[in-house]
Amino acid sequence: MTPEQVKLVQESFAKVAPISEQAASIFYDRLFEVAPAVRAMFPSDMTEQRRKLMATLAVVVNGLSNLASVLPAASALAKRHVSYGARPEHYPAVGGALLWTLEKGLGDAWTPEVAEAWTAAYGTLSGYMISEAYGTIQAAE
């Protein structure tokens, strides 16, 4: 990721943060729509899960300018997700739902440059997480 892409991700996330509860709901609704099989991996009450999602995203987004600082947490998260039943093929659905949510939440602020920056961020982190959890390097966009 370029420094400009990091800046775009951080600035755009700051615009979504005020609507974090709504954004998390939109994300999970979309994820379960495009990948209904993953619904069973989540609790019936998604309140805490939505909060965790947005808190984790905030940590990752804020750490993008020093990626090495978030990699240990990303590794641990990836390994935990294996125990929940997550598989490498789930990562593209998650990424697609995330980008779709950001597009809806940002409206006109979702520019091609912002989309490219988020795609790069997700591809970088998901590829790392997949390699940590499953021992294979893959990009999930």
pLDDT category of residue 137 using cuts at 50, 70 and 90 = low
DSSP for 38-66, written as a single string = GGGGS-S--HHHHHHHHHHHHHHHHHGGG
Q: What is the mean pLDDT of residues 90-110?
A: 96
Q: Is the pLDDT of residue 105 over 70?
A: yes
- Give me the mean pLDDT over the 85-98 stretch: 94
* Sequence letter at residue 49: Q
Q: Where are the domains of the chain?
A: 3-134
DSSP state of 135: S
* Mean per-residue pLDDT over the chain, rounded: 92
As a CATH number, domain 3-134 is: 1.10.490.10
Going by pLDDT thresholds of 50, 70 and 90, the confidence category of residue 141 is: very low
Q: What is the mean pLDDT of residues 52-71?
A: 92
Task: Please count the other Cβ atoms lying within 10 Å of the Cβ belonging to residue 38.
Answer: 19
d(CA 33, CA 8): 28
